Amino acid sequence: MADSYLVLFDRALAQALDDLELGLYKPTGTYTAAESTLAKPAILVSGPDLPTTLDNCIVLNQLDPIIEGRADLVHRVQIISRLAGTKTQARNLAWSLRVALDQKEQIPPGFYVSWSTIFSELAATRDESGRYTTYQNFHFRGRRPL
C-alpha cells in the first residue's frame, strides 16, 4: 500500500526541519541516545506518542485536515518538542520552531503551501524525568492533492 498524502506531508516537514538545522530526521532506522541531543533533537513522524527511549525529540502529529472548498486544504500539525535540558532551552527550541514555520510560504517544499501560521502553543511543566515539553499547533494552508 502506498503512503498517504498526510504521511508524505509529515515526512517532508520533518526533512524541512532537519534542513533548517532544528533537529535530526532519519527517514529509516531508529535513533540512538547519542544522536538525539539538546542541540539536535530527533525528529519523529510517529505522533502523538512520545518515545520512551529518547529524552530530546520533536514529534510531528498530523491532526485531521480541514478541507476548504474544492481546491484548498489546511494541514493541522501538532509539533511536540521535548528536551531534557533547562526550561530556557525548551523555550528556545519552541521559539525556533515558531520562527521557522510561522508566517511562511512553501514549507514544506513541494506541497504548494501558500501560508503557514501557529494556531496555539502550550508549555508543560517538567516531568518526573526532568524533561520539558511544548505543544505547538500549526496550520499549513495549501492545495488539495488530486
Each residue of 54-104: pLDDT tens digit?
A: 999 999 999 999 998 888 999 999 999 999 999 999 999 999 999 999 999
Looking at this protein, which amino acid is placed at residue 79? I
**Which tens digits make up the pLDDT trace of 6-54?**
999 999 999 999 999 999 999 998 898 889 998 999 999 988 888 888 9
pTM of the shown model: 0.93
Give the sign of the dihedral formed by CA 19, CA 20, CA 24, CA 25.
Answer: negative
Question: Residues 30, 43: contact at Cβ < 8 Å?
Answer: no
Domains of the chain (ranges plus CATH)?
A: 5-143 (3.30.2000.10)
Task: Report the distance separating Cα 106 and Cα 110, nearest Å.
Answer: 7
pLDDT band at 2; cut points 50, 70, 90: confident
Q: Which amino acid is at 67?
A: I
Question: What is the DSSP pairing of strand 72-83 with strand 24-25?
Answer: unpaired
